[in-house]
Amino acid sequence: MQIASKDVSAVDMVRAALDKAKKYADYNIFISLSEDAALNRAKEIDEKIAKGEKVGRLAGVPYACKDNFLSKQGATTAASKILEPLKAPLNATAIEKLEAEGAIMIGRVNLDAFAHGSSTENSYFGVTKNSTDMERVAGGSSGGSAVAVALDIVPFATGTDTGGSIRQPASFNGVYGIKPTYGTISRYGVVAMASSLDCVGFLARNTEDLNLLMEICAGQDPKDLTTLPDYYTKTEKKEPKKIGVIKDFDSDAIDPAIREVLRQKLSELKSDGYDIVDLEMPILKYALAVYYIICPAEVASNLSRYDGIRYGYRSEDAKNLDEIFGESRSDGYMKENKRRIMVGNFVLSSGFYDAYYLKAMKARTLIIQAFDDAFKKCDYILAPVSPNPAFRIGEKVNDPVAMYMEDILSVTLNLAGVPGVALPVGKTDSGLPLGLQLIGPRRSDKNLLDFAGKIGFKIDDKEGK
């Protein structure tokens, strides 16, 4: 990821990325491009290199920013109408760290508004199309990030993962994506969805790049009290011996092609000398219900700050204070945002808190314990990311339950706070990418990435490894 060798200039790299972004405009990847700012920054880096000055590890590397990261460059929208005019007064900590190492943001990419969705169809700016089949979804919520990387517009993109929002679009587009251990990377300056579930991560075409990004961004941040001390760069190398497979995930509800690539990969691992351990984790069948109680509850709390008063969109039709609140939120939120706010306020309301929210929190504890017990029997777990390959645009967006079911295999990691890496492992007969997720115990992120790189496809190798 370096240009210090002077073999290529930062300006050339950034210009090439911008040209590709325009070339693939029909995919609706970018909400906005920052041409002038990106090229000016690239010129500054080239000048530093020419003078022999020290540059960062990402000097001149263009990247795409998921548009729920605050940055002084451009406007932050979170792909919503209610935030469309927002000019951020600060940079997210992750953005600060990337750009301190010389990375150059070329633009902001699309997502489901406020990261609420699994297909990037819930964006105010329209749907992003899958990198392989433009009639299919990119996945969500980090759909724009995944397609920008898959089409090789940029080497990496930022993402957030609250219930699979990095891993699922990575899987749908055949790239790598990491959801770190909760608290590994600061969430400061990232538009909050569900604060106890949100994780900042990245998508890239190989695990080496993801490892470098993690080394740069991991660590404690006084602005985010949930961040962990830097364990990532101090991780001792450990080779796994036992790979777990969750028997509860091997059901007819999972697409046969995904079940087959999982069996093939497990067979390869067994042939390579790894022990395959069957795991029974029956509590996971409740994970989706637990997630869609806890997540909307936190969403309702976090979205209450957007009221048309302090910043963001304000309805021009409002004539009094009540109408400013009501009409601004009614016009500014997408249908899925409103659905989650309503569910969240319901489960937190008097008379239902104990029956729903408190019970879900107790079940979450059991899910955490189930993963702790599983990792006493194995080093890592290999599982599907999603029950299906990328589905067709419009197929599920009007059926909330069907859309939520797409998260059934991915939300468990966020509830437990454990890391997961999505890795490309195959394709369907029609050429759609197929991915799996490698899951590890908390703080195993670095070794997890190393192993994912060994067993996943090389992106530019159609036959894989």
Is 141 noted as a catalytic residue in this protein?
yes
Give the pLDDT score at 463.
38
**Rounded to a whole number, what is the distance in angstroms from the first to the last CA of the chain?**
23
Options 80, 123, 131, 141, the catalytic residue: 141
In whole angstroms, what is the distance from residue 298 CA to residue 414 CA? Answer: 14
Options 34, 48, 66, 186, the catalytic residue: 66
- Only one residue has tokens 């999982």, namely 262
CB neighbour list of residue 100: distance below 8 Å, 6 or more residues apart? 56
Give the pLDDT score at 186.
98
Give the pLDDT score at 171.
98
Is 66 noted as a catalytic residue in this protein?
yes
The torsion region of residue 114 among left (phi > 0), alpha (psi -120 to 50) and beta comes to left
Give the pLDDT score at 250.
66
Give the pLDDT score at 253.
86
Going residue by residue through the chain (465 aa), what tens digit of pLDDT does each one get? 455 455 789 999 999 999 999 999 999 999 999 999 999 999 999 999 999 999 999 999 999 999 999 999 999 999 999 997 788 999 999 999 999 999 999 999 999 999 999 999 999 999 999 999 999 999 999 999 999 999 999 999 999 999 999 999 999 999 999 999 999 999 999 999 999 999 999 999 999 999 999 999 999 999 999 999 999 999 999 999 999 999 977 677 899 999 999 999 999 999 999 999 999 999 999 999 999 999 999 999 999 999 888 888 999 888 999 999 999 999 999 999 999 999 999 999 998 999 999 999 999 999 999 999 999 999 999 999 999 999 999 999 999 999 999 999 999 999 999 999 999 999 999 999 999 999 999 999 999 999 999 999 887 644 333
What is the CATH superfamily name and number for domain 10-234?
Answer: Amidase signature (AS) domain (3.90.1300.10)
In whole angstroms, what is the distance from residue 463 CA to residue 336 CA? Answer: 39
User: Are the CB atoms for 370 and 281 separated by under 8 Å?
Assistant: yes
Nearest to 38 by CA among 117, 103, 121: 103
Options 145, 165, 186, 328, the catalytic residue: 165
Give the pLDDT score at 84.
77
Give the pLDDT score at 35.
97
Nearest to 413 by CA among 453, 381, 450: 381
User: Are the CB atoms for 55 and 98 separated by under 8 Å?
Assistant: no
Q: In what order do the strands lie in the sheet with 30-33?
A: 30-33, 104-109, 62-66, 156-161, 199-204, 176-179, 420-427, 433-439, 380-384, 242-246, 275-279
CA dist list (Å): 343 to 120, 193, 322, 339, 400: 21, 14, 22, 6, 12
Give the pLDDT score at 465.
37
Where in the chain are the domains?
10-234
DSSP state at residue 387: S
Q: What is the SS3 assignment for 7?
A: coil
